[in-house]
Amino acid sequence: MKPQKIIFLGTPKFAVPSLEALNQSPHRVLQVITQPDRPKGRGKKIEPPPIKKKAKALGIDIMQPSSINSLECIDRIQSFHPDFLVVVAFGQLLKQPMLSIPSRCVLNVHPSLLPEYRGPAPIQWSIIHGCSQTGISIMKLDEGLDTGDVYQVKNVSIKPDETAGELDDRLSHIGAKLLLNTIEKIIDGSISLTSQNNALATYAPRLSKKDGLIQWQLPTQSIINFIRGMNPWPGAFTFIENKRFKIFRAEKINDANEQTPGMVVDGFPDELWISTGDGILSILEIQNASGKRMPISDYLRGNKISPGTFLG
């Protein structure tokens, strides 16, 4: 198999296994393109994207353009005469002048079973919606948002208690393997494209911190799924006596409840039970605005939350 010349475009941690897999393959990653460094965390310290850190460690040249479709970028990438552009959670849409550069195609690794959950947050939304299945789609990128024809799909079961962060990590490695397999099949001509059925398409919009507010009137399982889907980012939260708390894990207690949703109900001394739209939920892991993440039993040892208190 003739080694292929590849330009890699990616930004978050999810993209790292794909870059590593390509770097360890016979193919040549000539350039890594990622988003500019941005402020992160409470201190708003400027941080490089995970892909930049990995590319530096691997000794691969890096570009961080504010616009991937600029003439400067197009000229730079054309100068490499690449066989493939590989896009993994890059964060910018590529226009036709960029898409037409590689001699073969632009490949995209997308963590959903396309056409389901197109968009920037498919992993989070698949968990929030209580899906038992998701997957990886390797597609030929076009100008639309995850609308391109698909080369390969791999189904993946979502574990009952799996968080978005845990699923993200698992899918990132599955996607890296499927990416390499797809490239091999394109080279030897043993693979074909399948068009997406746009009538079945769903969208996974980008999430922000304000989206993490827990709605206690929802059914218990929906709230648990929401907490899992928001973990680790942007984080599910609620307010207890006007103080903001992040909730990382919760479990169902029972389906019987006559209390107003969001109210603390009687439970064991080291547990925090909350009424929901259809039952009772127990918060297992919590973090206040200035503290550290801890089991609820540890928090309650020094902080009393009385039955009848409302969360909201």
Return the CATH number of 209-302, one of 2.60.120.650, 3.40.1350.10, 3.30.1330.10, 3.10.25.10.
Answer: 3.10.25.10
So what's the pLDDT on residue 41? 75
Angstrom distances, CA of residue 203 to CA of 68, 85, 199? 23, 24, 12
So what's the pLDDT on residue 200? 98
Judged on CB neighbours under 10 Å (0-12, 13-18, 19+), 44 is exposed
* pLDDT (mean) for 235-257: 93
Asked whether the predicted pLDDT for residue 19 surpasses 90, the reply is: yes
29-43, 141-155, 202-216: range with lowest mean pLDDT: 29-43
| CATH architecture of the region 5-200 | 3-Layer(aba) Sandwich (3.40)
Asked whether the predicted pLDDT for residue 84 surpasses 80, the reply is: yes
pLDDT band for position 291 (50/70/90)?
Answer: confident
pLDDT in tens, 120-141: 999 999 999 999 999 999 999 9
Asked whether the predicted pLDDT for residue 256 surpasses 90, the reply is: no
pLDDT in tens, 87-121: 999 999 999 999 999 999 999 999 999 999 999 99
Domains of the chain by residue range: 5-200, 209-302
Rg (the chain; Cα; Å)? 22
